[in-house]
């Protein structure tokens, strides 16, 4: 019994045919061109992965909804997201219903990425650190002010 391996045959690739799919059994990978080799040997040849296409299927409680949308934007989104179009929009709608969402547009997201922030979780961590640092900063400023007052008194009295 053979299963799809989700990798292309590296032997075929080396012979100029990069799109020959491998199958697998418990011991070997093999292709329709007659190549056969143990798993470790094939994997050591850095074979190219086949991205498994995710085909969207609506869930049992899903319903089709109508949304008004700019036709150009819609066409671009369909092209860019492909099979992820429906799940992406569905998760955005779900996101809108979970508390009060914060919407971040492409430019802001780009700035965040440049700062090394890639998720909402990381944004929360950075914001919390900022609050902590601001508090520490304020307490340091207060200490400096107190020392300045003491110093002034000391110089005036002296
Ligand atoms: Zn092959």
pLDDT 10s digits, 22-40: 999 989 999 999 999 999 9
Residue 55 alpha carbon to ligand 1 centre in Å: 27
Instruction: Indicate whether 153 and 130 sit together in one domain.
Output: yes
Instruction: Indicate whether 122 and 146 sit together in one domain.
Output: yes
Instruction: Indicate whether 8 and 36 sit together in one domain.
Output: yes
In a domain, 131, yes or no: yes
In a domain, 153, yes or no: yes
Residue 3 alpha carbon to ligand 1 centre in Å: 16
Instruction: Indicate whether 86 and 124 sit together in one domain.
Output: no
Q: In 10 A of CB 120, how many CB atoms?
A: 12
Q: At what angle do helices 71-81 and 85-96 cross, to 10 degrees?
A: 110
Q: Give the domain extent around 141.
A: 116-158
Instruction: Indicate whether 96 and 127 sit together in one domain.
Output: no
Considering its fold, how many domains does the chain have in total?
3
Residue 21 alpha carbon to ligand 1 centre in Å: 8
In a domain, 60, yes or no: no
Ramachandran region of residue 82, left (φ > 0), alpha (ψ -120 to 50) or beta? left
CA angle 155, 157, 158 (to 5 degrees): 60
Region 96-113: what's the mean pLDDT? 86
pLDDT at residue 51, rounded to an integer = 78
In a domain, 109, yes or no: no
In a domain, 66, yes or no: no
Residue 50 alpha carbon to ligand 1 centre in Å: 15
pLDDT at residue 87, rounded to an integer = 86
In a domain, 110, yes or no: no
CA distances, 34 to each of 8, 30, 37, 42, 71 (Å) = 13, 7, 10, 14, 50
Q: What mean pLDDT value characterizes the chain? A: 89
Contact between 105 and 113 under an 8 Å Cβ cutoff? The reply is no
Burial class (CB in 10 A: 0-12, 13-18, 19+), 47: buried
**How large a percentage of the chain has pLDDT more than 90?**
48
Instruction: Indicate whether 96 and 125 sit together in one domain.
Output: no
Note the pLDDT tens digit of each residue in 45-88.
999 988 766 677 888 999 999 999 999 999 999 988 888 888 88
Check residue 83 and report its DSSP letter: G
Output the six-digit token pair for 108. 């802001």
In a domain, 26, yes or no: yes
Look up the pTM and report it.
0.45
């Amino acid at each position: 019994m053979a299963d799809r391996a989700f990798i292309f045959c590296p032997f075929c690739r080396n012979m100029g045919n990069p799109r020959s799919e491998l199958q697998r059994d418990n011991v070997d990978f093999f292709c329709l061109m007659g190549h056969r080799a143990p798993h470790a040997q094939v994997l050591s040849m850095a074979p190219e992965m086949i991205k498994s296409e995710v085909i969207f299927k609506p869930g049992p409680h899903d319903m089709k909804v109508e949304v008004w949308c700019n036709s150009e934007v819609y066409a671009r989104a369909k092209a860019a997201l492909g099979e992820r179009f429906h799940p992406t929009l569905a998760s955005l709608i779900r996101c809108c219903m979970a508390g009060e969402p914060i919407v971040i547009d492409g430019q802001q997201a780009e700035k965040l990425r440049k700062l090394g922030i890639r998720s909402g979780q990381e944004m929360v961590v950075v914001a919390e650190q900022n609050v902590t640092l601001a508090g520490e900063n304020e307490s340091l400023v207060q200490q400096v002010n107190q020392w300045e007052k003491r110093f002034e008194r000391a110089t005036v009295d002296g």
